[in-house]
Structure 1
Amino acid sequence: MRVAVVGGGISGLVAAYRLRQSLGESADLTVIESRVRLGGVLRTGEVGGEPVDLGAEAFVGRRPEVPALLRELGIADQLVHPAGLRPLVWAGGRAHPLPERTLMGIPSGPETVTGLLDAETVARIADEPTRPFMWRPGTDIDVYSLVADRFGAQTVARSVDPLLGGVYAGTARSIGLRAALPTLAAALDRGAGSLTAAVAAALPPPSDAPVFGALRDGYAVLLRALTERSAPVTVRETAVTALRRVPGGWQVDPVGEFDAVVLATPAPVTARLLAEVAPAAAHAAAGIQLSSSALVVLELPKDTRLPPNSGVLVATGEPLRAKAFTLSSRKWPHLAARDTAVVRVSFGRFGDDSAATLPDADLVVAATADLATVTGVPIDPRSAVVQRWPGGLAQYAPGHLERVTEIESELARFDDLAVTGAYLHGVGVPACVASASAAARSIATARTGSRSPGR
Structure 2
Amino acid sequence: MAQAQVVVIGGGIAGLAAAAFLSGAAGGPARARVTLLEASERLGGKLRGGEVGGVRVDLGAESMLARRPEAVELARAVGLGTELEPPTTAKAAIWTRGALRPLPGGQVMGVPGNLDALAASGVLTSEGLERARHEAAGEAVADDVAIGRFVADRLGREVVDRLVEPLLGGVYAGHADEISLRVAVPQLLEIARGGGSLVEGVHALATRPQTAATPVFQGLRGGLGTLPEAVAAACAEAGVELRTRTAVDELRRTPDGWRVVTDGGEVLHADAVVLAVPAPAAARLLRADAPGAAAELDGIEYAGMALVTMAFRRADLPGPPAGSGFLVPPVDGRRIKASTFSSNKWGWLERSAPDTFLLRTSLGRLREEQPLELPDEELVAQSLADLGEAIGLTARPYDTAVTRWGAGLPQYPVGHVDRVGRIRAAAARAGALALCGAAYDGVGIPACIASARAAVAELDNSLTPPTGEHVTERTMGA
Q: TM-score range by the shorter chain?
A: over 0.9
1:124 to 131, 153, 162: 131
Aligned residue in 2 for 1:293: 305
Task: Encode CA deviations 1:134-153: one digit per residue, 9 max, x unaligned.
Answer: 12421x22212111222222
Give the Cα separation in 1 of the matches to 2:141 and 2:176. Answer: 20
Give the Cα separation in 1 of the matches to 2:248 and 2:139. Answer: 48
Give the Cα separation in 1 of the matches to 2:312 and 2:405. Answer: 23
Aligned residue in 1 for 2:10: 7
- Give the drift of 1:358: 1.4
Task: Encode CA deviations 1:70-105: one digit per residue, 9 max, x unaligned.
Answer: 221122111111113410100011110001111100
Structure 1 residues 188 and 149, CA, compared in 2 at 3 Å: closer, same or farther? closer
Aligned residue in 2 for 1:245: 253
Aligned residue in 2 for 1:429: 445
Give the Cα separation in 1 of the matches to 2:258 and 2:85. Answer: 42
Aligned residue in 2 for 1:196: 199
Aligned residue in 1 for 2:191: 187
Aligned residue in 2 for 1:89: 94
- Give the drift of 1:450: 4.4
Give the Cα separation in 2 of the matches to 1:118 and 1:194. Answer: 22
Preserved CA contact (<8 Å) 2:251 2:258: yes
Give the Cα separation in 2 of the matches to 1:446 and 1:59. Answer: 32
- Give the drift of 1:412: 3.1
Unaligned 5+ residue runs, structure 1? none
Letter of the 1:300 partner, please give it.
Answer: F
Preserved CA contact (<8 Å) 2:304 2:372: yes
Preserved CA contact (<8 Å) 2:384 2:393: no
Give the Cα separation in 2 of the matches to 1:437 and 1:267. Answer: 19
Give the Cα separation in 2 of the matches to 1:279 and 1:296. Answer: 39
Aligned residue in 1 for 2:142: 137
Aligned residue in 2 for 1:309: 323
Give the Cα separation in 2 of the matches to 1:117 and 1:450. Answer: 64
Letter of the 1:330 partner, please give it.
Answer: N
- Give the drift of 1:292: 0.2
After the TM superposition, which residues 14-413 of structure 1 pair with which residues of structure 2 at under 5 Å, given as runs? 14-21=17-24, 24=30, 27-114=32-119, 115-128=122-135, 131-138=136-143, 140-189=144-193, 191-203=194-206, 205-207=208-210, 209-231=214-236, 232=239, 233-254=241-262, 255-256=266-267, 257-303=269-315, 304=317, 305-337=319-351, 338=353, 339-413=355-429
- Give the drift of 1:442: 2.6
Give the Cα separation in 1 of the matches to 2:207 and 2:17. Answer: 29
Task: Encode CA deviations 1:304-352: one digit per residue, 9 max, x unaligned.
Answer: 2232110011011223211000001111111122220000111111121
2:406 partner SS: strand
Structure 1 residues 358 and 331, CA, compared in 2 at 3 Å: closer, same or farther? same
Cα RMSD of the aligned pairs, angstroms, is 1.9
Give the Cα separation in 1 of the matches to 2:188 and 2:155. Answer: 15
1:299 partner SS: strand
Give the Cα separation in 2 of the matches to 1:132 and 1:441. Answer: 43
Give the Cα separation in 2 of the matches to 1:267 and 1:92. Answer: 38
Letter of the 1:381 partner, please give it.
Answer: P
Give the Cα separation in 2 of the matches to 1:362 and 1:111. Answer: 41
Preserved CA contact (<8 Å) 2:8 2:275: yes
Give the Cα separation in 2 of the matches to 1:385 and 1:366. Answer: 14
- Normalised by the length of structure 2, the TM-score is 0.89
Structure 1 residues 401 and 247, CA, compared in 2 at 3 Å: closer, same or farther? same
Task: Encode CA deviations 1:189-211: one digit per residue, 9 max, x unaligned.
Answer: 2x233333443454461545321
1:374 partner SS: helix
Letter of the 1:249 partner, please give it.
Answer: G
Aligned residue in 1 for 2:471: none
Identity of aligned residues (%): 42
- Give the drift of 1:415: 4.9
Unaligned 5+ residue runs, structure 2? 468-478
- Normalised by the length of structure 1, the TM-score is 0.93
1:83 partner SS: coil
Preserved CA contact (<8 Å) 1:110 1:123: no
